[in-house]
Structure 1
Amino acid sequence: MKCSYCQSGNCIKNGKTLNAKSRYKCNSCFKRFILNYTYNAYQSNLNQQIIILTKEGLGIRSTARVLDISATTLLKRIISIANKIPRPFISKGKVYEVDELRTYIKSKNRLVWIVYALERESWKIVSFNVGARTNKTLKAVLTTLQLSEAKSIYTDGLRNYKYLIQKKIHKVIRFGTNHIERFNLNLRIHLKRLNRRTICFSKSPVLLSAVLKIYFWSELII
């Protein structure tokens, strides 16, 4: 028998549960587990399944139905998973593209913007922020890029950028944001909550940020 958490074979019996199922204890990681859980939320591979289904575009209720767990449990797990994901390491002297993507929270009257930066060579997302289309929201992303001594930052014609990016590295040219515009399409296809015509929506900025963090950086999870 192997531990459900660390896969060690150093396990012993540790009594029974209220449902009369045998409980085991791992002498390597000291965690307790049972072999067959009644409720699927206790399965050891649940987090990985949530990551896969989230990145494949399933909404909260769809994912909850597939995994046979409650929507409330799923929401808590998504936020918990996102909190374990660190921000990626950013190399110096790279070329970036920055763009904004419009979506909404709870109601289509509550618009929010996803501002994010894509590293052109690797197509990796290095920073993002969720909020109103203001200097404060943009600055959270742009400051990260400028601290990394970015070689160039390509944006669209939004006026706010010229006040936030150094003139010598700021580029606004035709086709300059082709890569990130294509990535916008990927986001709208892969994440149901970002579709233009959908009844699937985020309940809070915290949840939207958590889903984006999983989509962008789940391979960095600790």
Structure 2
Amino acid sequence: MAKIDVVCPRCSETNGVIRNGHSSSGTQLYRCKHCLKTFQLSYRYNGAKPETHQTIVDMAMSGSGCSDTARVLKISLNTVLRHLKNFAPFQVAQNVEPGAPGAEVVICCEANEQWSYVRSKSNPRWLFYAYDRIRKRVLAHVFGPRNALTLRRLLVLLSPFNIAFYMTDAWPVYRTLLASTCHVVSKKYTQRIERHHLNLRTHLKRLARRTICFSKSEVMHDKIIGWYLTIHHYH
């Protein structure tokens, strides 16, 4: 007689997986004694499948909107929104030990801001972030209006890093908050971060220009961009 081991989707254990009754639809439930995860082997609703979460994230990072994802996967829009909202993206690089003895110095850090909007163009939403031009990665980001307060929040996140020079455009607030000895003002030295703006607009549908795609809430707007930066730069 053939025997099939049931594998726990959380801890991948086979020993200790027991039957645990049935769901409301009559499907057999299982429970893992190691991690206490309750699960089932087959799902009628696509949104409940274990691999659906990663598929939703991959589609969001590849230019698909929430409605597009729901239509392709044949799940509800609320399911897509729930998967994307239940995540707390980082605001600063986590794979670096800023300020630690012997930490690498960030020689050239490009700082800039990217415009987008939520609901209507009368409600702009600015992304402020810093880009390490040598290692080609984002160091930290914040969202807010285009003013000195938002820039100060970004500089607080960057303060633990050993940054030698800041490269920015000629926005006057940069001159006010950055010391002249470590501040270089020139569009010539912000080409890499401007190129990264294009990556964001290409990969995230809600940032694409000249389309009808836009964010309807600040939460989703910040979460999607946070997802992208966390996956591609912070891990």
TM-score by length of structure 2 reads 0.87
Shift of residue 146, structure 1, vs aligned partner: 3.2
Matches within 5 A, 1:175-214: 175-214=188-227
| Cα contact 1:58–1:192 (8 A) shared by 2 | yes
The counterpart of 1:38, out of the listed 37, 40, 44, is: 44
- In the other structure, the counterpart of 1:4 is 9
Q: Does 1:133 align with 2:139?
A: no
Shift of residue 86, structure 1, vs aligned partner: 7.0
- In the other structure, the counterpart of 2:63 is 57
- In the other structure, the counterpart of 2:180 is 167
- In the other structure, the counterpart of 2:54 is 48
Q: Deviations over 1:66-117 (max 9, x none)?
A: 2222212211211212x16574234452021111111110112212211111
Question: Aligned pair count?
Answer: 221
CA distance in 2, matches of 1:162, 1:29: 54
- In the other structure, the counterpart of 1:88 is 93
- In the other structure, the counterpart of 2:74 is 68
- In angstroms, what is the RMSD of aligned CA positions? 2.0
The counterpart of 2:122, out of the listed 102, 106, 109, is: 109
Q: Which runs of 5+ in 2 are unaligned?
A: 1-5, 99-103
| Cα contact 1:51–1:218 (8 A) shared by 2 | no
Q: Which runs of 5+ in 1 are unaligned?
A: none
| Cα contact 2:168–2:184 (8 A) shared by 1 | yes
CA distance in 2, matches of 1:46, 1:85: 22
CA distance in 2, matches of 1:195, 1:9: 46
| Cα contact 2:61–2:228 (8 A) shared by 1 | yes
TM-score by length of structure 1 reads 0.92
- In the other structure, the counterpart of 2:84 is 78
Q: Secondary structure at the match of 1:143?
A: helix
- In the other structure, the counterpart of 2:101 is none
| Cα contact 2:117–2:215 (8 A) shared by 1 | yes
Amino acid at match of 1:181: E
Q: Secondary structure at the match of 1:163?
A: helix
Which of structures 1 and 2 has the bigger CA Rg? Answer: 2
CA distance in 1, matches of 2:85, 2:112: 25
| Cα contact 1:85–1:220 (8 A) shared by 2 | no
| Cα contact 1:97–1:117 (8 A) shared by 2 | yes
CA distance in 2, matches of 1:174, 1:109: 27
CA distance in 2, matches of 1:119, 1:69: 39
| Cα contact 1:86–1:220 (8 A) shared by 2 | no
